[in-house]
Amino acid sequence: MTLETAPETARSAVATEGVAAETPTPSVPADANAHCPGVGSEGAGQADACAGCPNQTFCKTGQASKIIDPAPAEIAERLRDSIGSTYLVLSGKGGVGKSTFTSQLAWALSDSEKPEAVLAANPDMEAETTVAVLDVDICGPSQPRMLGCEGEQVHQSQSGWSPVYVSDTLCVMSVGFMLPRNDEAVIWRGPRKNGLIKQFLRDVAWGPQDFLLVDTPPGTSDEHLSLLTYLKQAGIDGAIVLTTPQDVACQDVRRILTFCRKVGVPIVGIVENMSTFVCPSCHQSSVIFPPTSGGGAALAAEFGVPLLGQIPLDPRIGKACDFGHSFLEEHPESPAAEAYRSIVAKIQEIAAQKAT
C-alpha cells in the first residue's frame, strides 16, 4: 500500500525507494530522472537531465505539457478556508537554525493573542492564535523532536490525514512521523519528495489555522520548487529568511533572497540568529560569529527588506528543542525570549493587515 492510501502503514513504507509509486504528477513524473526540469519547461525532453528518461519522447514532442495538474487548484481549495497566512522559513545556508527558529516561533505564536485590530474587525473570532507547522525537510525532519511529539503517528479521518496536535493551538505534519525508526534514512529522489509534499498540502486536514509555517531544507532545490508549484494558486504570504552574522552565511543567504525575488515570493524580513552569545548567568554578551560585512542588518539594508530581529545565542534554546519544550515558556525573561516576542509581534502585525 502507498502513502496515498494508507497513512497508518506509512511508517514502514516511507523510508525506502521500494514504496509503491505515487500517481505521476504532470509537472514531474514519478519515474522521471533526477533533476527533471518539468514537463512544461522549455527544456522538457531536451535538457541533459532528460537523457535516458522513459518520458523523454513524450515530453520532447510537447504532449506532456498539454496535461494540466489539478493539484494546485485542489490545494488552493483546501487551504483557502483553513489557513490564514502561509510563511516559508528559508535560508540558503544549512546550520543557521531554521528548524529551531520555526519550532520556537510556532510555540510563541500559538501562545499569543491576535492583535486588537483584528479582533475588533472580526467580533466572532477567537482571540487565541492557532498555528500549523509543515516540515518539508524530508531527509532531515526535526520538528517532531523539537515540538515534543516524536513517536506519534499520522491517522486518517474522513476529511484527510490528521496532523499531530502538540496543544490545542499548535499542530504539525512531518515525514518524521512515518519513519519506522528515528535513525531511518529517507533515500528519495526529487519526484518522490515532490509527491509527498503534494500529499501533505492536499490531503492533510489542517482545520482552521491562523498560520502555516513551512520549515524547509537549505538551498533552493526540489522541495522549494514543489512548494512554489503546489502553492501557486493558494498563495504564499511571504518568506522569513534566516542568517547568522558571519559573512560566509550571509553570502549564501543572498542567493535565497535572489531566489525569492526571481520566483515572486514576498520577503517578510530577515532574522539574524545567534547574533551574540548572552551568558545565562551573568548576562554578558560575547560575539561568537563576527559580522565582518555587517551581518543580517547590512543584508536587510542591501535588499531593502525589514530586519525582523536578532536572536542571541542561548544554549538553553538547544536544550529546549532537544526536550521538545517551549523556550519562551521556560525562560520568559531571557534576552532571546524577548527577541522572539518582538518578532512574533511584527509577524502578527503583518498578518493583521491581510485579515483586516
List residues forming the annotated binding site.
36, 50, 53, 59, 92-99, 279, 282
Rounded to an integer, what distance in angstroms lies between the CA atom of residue 216 and that of residue 94? 10
Kindly state the helix (H) or strand (E) to which residue 213 belongs, with its residue range: strand 209-215
- DSSP annotation of 221 reads S
| Dihedral sign computed on CA atoms, order 104, 106, 108, 111 | negative
Rounded to an integer, what distance in angstroms lies between the CA atom of residue 214 and that of residue 83? 12
**Of 322, 348, 351, 325, whose CA–CA distance to 337 is shortest?**
325
Number of helices (H), then strands (E), in the chain? 13, 11
| Dihedral sign computed on CA atoms, order 192, 176, 270, 342 | positive
Answer whether 162's CB lies under 8 Å from 205's CB.
Answer: yes
> Distances from the Cα of 58 to the Cαs of 1, 25, 68, in angstroms?
28, 14, 15
DSSP 47-62: SGGGTT-TTHHHHHTT
| Binding-site residue positions for ATP | 92-99
DSSP 222-288: HHHHHHHHHTTTT---EEEEEE-SSHHHHHHHHHHHHHHHHHT--EEEEEEEEEEEE-TTT--EE-S
Answer whether 200's CB lies under 8 Å from 206's CB.
Answer: no
Answer whether 58's CB lies under 8 Å from 185's CB.
Answer: no
Strand 155-157 with 160-162, pairing: antiparallel
| Binding-site residue positions for [4Fe-4S] cluster | 36, 50, 53, 59, 279, 282
3-state secondary structure (DSSP) of residue 172: strand
Answer whether 211's CB lies under 8 Å from 172's CB.
Answer: no
